[in-house]
């Protein structure tokens, strides 16, 4: 049974509609909120969908308010969907020490198997199964034409989802992604807490491990700030470069001097990413990219 979708807010932007919506999730057992931008379009037209997965501590609101994506989406005719980063609400487990890099806002896009998180932290199934079904039912989305992108923890999510579901996504990109969570403190903490000590379960959610294990995508676009405080200890893009080179995956990895980990960085290159996705979605659909 399709859940009831509550409209929290809508606003006109670049000729389209930016909305925020809420529903009861069967996967997480909580209410979940997400945002959707629908660009101007002819009635009856189905539009390609770009999924944007956010990073640690974020909700859908961060990219919705700071991402500066709507002009590019309107130009290319792209729907952009931004889910939350974790279940929330009374009774939902959190880090007992109140840390910001685990628990609420930090679900790492996995289905937790460890108590007490297994009850609600099912963000893999929410993002890959439940929410796409809702988007397909309520918005003019062409689910045969999907792309995915994300930032930091969300970049990790975008890469691993695309590598696990290569037939679903026509393109994938990331801003400052956690490319090898099994090798860095953020990922080790999250995977231990959500997935226990099963290293095989960890590897299914590690982009470098997946590529080294044979997973493939047609190509990757990754932007990284050179002044990112997390670059050396948590992000390690050189590991992705090495894995892609060995696997023959075309990788555009751009290091931008002076840019940090924030939405000032993301918004500076958001249009580049959406241009890149639009070109590949258009090629996939055997259509010419829309122009302004």
CA distance 9 to 128: 24
261 is catalytic: yes
Q: Which of 152, 171, 223, 273 is catalytic?
A: 152
The pLDDT score that the predictor gives to residue 285 is: 81
In the chain, DSSP finds a helix count (H) and a strand count (E) of 10, 9
pLDDT tens digit string along 27-78? 999 999 999 999 999 999 999 999 999 999 999 999 999 999 999 999 999 9
Q: Tell me, what's the pLDDT at 286? A: 61
In a domain, residue 26? The reply is: yes
The chain-wide mean pLDDT, for the chain, equals 96
Does residue 246 lie in a domain region?
A: yes
Domain extent for 10: 6-284
Our answer to whether residue 228 is catalytic in this structure is: yes
How far CA 22 is from CA of 53, 66, 72, 239, in Å, comes to 17, 20, 25, 38
54, burial (CB in 10 Å: exposed 0-12, middle 13-18, buried 19+):
buried
Judge whether 290 lies within some domain.
no
Helices (H), 91-152: 123-125, 131-138
Q: Is residue 1 part of a domain?
A: no
Whether 97 is covered by a domain: the verdict is yes
- Known catalytic membership, residue 156: no
Contact 235, 204 (CB under 8 A): no
The string of pLDDT tens digits covering residues 205-233 is: 999 999 999 999 999 999 999 999 999 99
231 lies in some domain: yes
> What DSSP state is assigned to residue 122?
B
User: Mean pLDDT in each 10-residue stretch from start to end of the chain (292 residues)?
Assistant: 88 98 98 98 96 98 98 98 97 95 98 98 98 98 98 98 97 98 98 97 98 98 98 98 98 98 98 98 68 34
Q: What is the pLDDT of residue 291?
A: 36
Tell me if 252 is assigned to some domain.
Answer: yes
Q: Of 76, 156, 205, 261, which one is the catalytic site residue?
A: 261
pTM of the model: 0.96
CA nearest neighbour of 130 among 87, 94, 80: 87
Structurally, the chain folds into a number of domains equal to: 1
Q: Which of 111, 206, 223, 228 is catalytic?
A: 228
Can you give the CATH number for the domain in which 182 is found?
3.40.50.1820
* pLDDT for residue 1: 64
In a domain, 291, yes or no: no
pLDDT of residue 288: 40
Task: Determine the pLDDT at residue 289.
Answer: 41
Tell me, what's the pLDDT at 290? 43
């Amino acid at each position: 049974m399709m859940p009831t979708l509550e409209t929290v807010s809508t606003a006109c932007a670049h000729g389209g509609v930016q909305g925020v919506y809420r529903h009861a999730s069967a996967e997480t057992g909580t209410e979940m909120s997400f945002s959707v931008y629908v660009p101007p379009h002819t009635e009856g037209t189905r539009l390609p969908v770009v999924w944007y997965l956010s990073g640690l501590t974020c909700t859908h609101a961060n990219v919705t308010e700071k991402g500066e994506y709507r002009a590019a989406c309107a130009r290319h005719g792209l729907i952009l969907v931004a889910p939350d980063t974790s279940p929330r609400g009374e009774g939902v487990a959190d880090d007992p020490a109140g840390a910001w890099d685990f628990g609420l806002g930090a679900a790492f896009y996995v289905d937790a198997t460890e108590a007490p998180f297994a009850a609600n932290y099912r963000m893999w199934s929410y993002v890959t199964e439940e929410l796409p079904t809702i988007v397909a039912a309520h918005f003019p989305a062409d689910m045969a034409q999907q792309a995915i992108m994300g930032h930091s923890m969300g970049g990790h999510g975008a890469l691993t989802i695309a590598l696990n579901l290569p037939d679903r996504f026509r393109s994938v990109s990331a801003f400052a992604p956690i490319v090898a969570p099994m090798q860095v403190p953020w990922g080790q903490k999250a995977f231990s807490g959500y997935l226990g000590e099963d290293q095989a379960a960890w590897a299914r959610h590690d982009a470098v491990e997946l590529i080294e294990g044979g997973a493939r995508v047609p190509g990757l676009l990754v932007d990284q700030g050179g002044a990112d405080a997390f670059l050396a200890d948590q992000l390690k893009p050189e590991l992705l470069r090495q894995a892609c080179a060995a696997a023959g995956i075309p990788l555009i990895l751009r290091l931008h001097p002076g840019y940090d980990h924030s939405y000032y960085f993301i918004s500076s290159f958001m249009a580049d990413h959406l241009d890149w996705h639009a070109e590949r979605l258009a090629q996939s659909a055997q259509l010419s990219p829309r122009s302004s």
